[in-house]
Amino acid sequence: MPESVYKVIELVGTSDKSWEEAALKAVETAGKSLKELRIAEITKLDMKIENGKVSAYRARVAISFKIEKKAIL
């Protein structure tokens, strides 16, 4: 297996329905501009509260993607 290099970035996805949808939005949005996504890890979940009720779910997601060799040089 050839050697590879990966970069890890952290994103926050939001949803008014669920943490799962918030995480999905983060990954799908990253996939529109980044190539070769590898792993997504949920690092934190929280909620926004307004007037005593949950108004949004937020998922902090660490996503790794492969760095092309030509980008390293």
Q: Read off the pLDDT of residues 3-42 as tens digits, 9 standing for 90 and up.
A: 888 999 999 999 999 999 999 999 999 999 998 999 999 9
Whether residue 6 contacts residue 38, with contact meaning beta carbons closer than 8 Å, is answered with yes
Is the predicted pLDDT of residue 57 greater than 80, yes or no?
Answer: yes
Give the CATH fold of the 5-72 domain. Answer: Dodecin subunit-like (3.30.1660)
Distance of CA 50 to the CA centre of its chain: 25
Q: What is the pLDDT of residue 4?
A: 85
Domain limits of the chain?
Answer: 5-72
* Helix, strand, coil distribution of the chain in percent, nearest 5: 25, 55, 20
Structure tokens that stand for 46 in this block: 């929280």
Q: What is the pLDDT of residue 68?
A: 79
1 — pLDDT class (breaks 50, 70, 90): very low
Q: How far apart are CA 49 and CA 36, in angstroms?
A: 35
Distance of CA 21 to the CA centre of its chain: 11
Number of Cβ within a 10 Å radius of residue 23: 23
Is the predicted pLDDT of residue 71 greater than 70, yes or no?
Answer: no
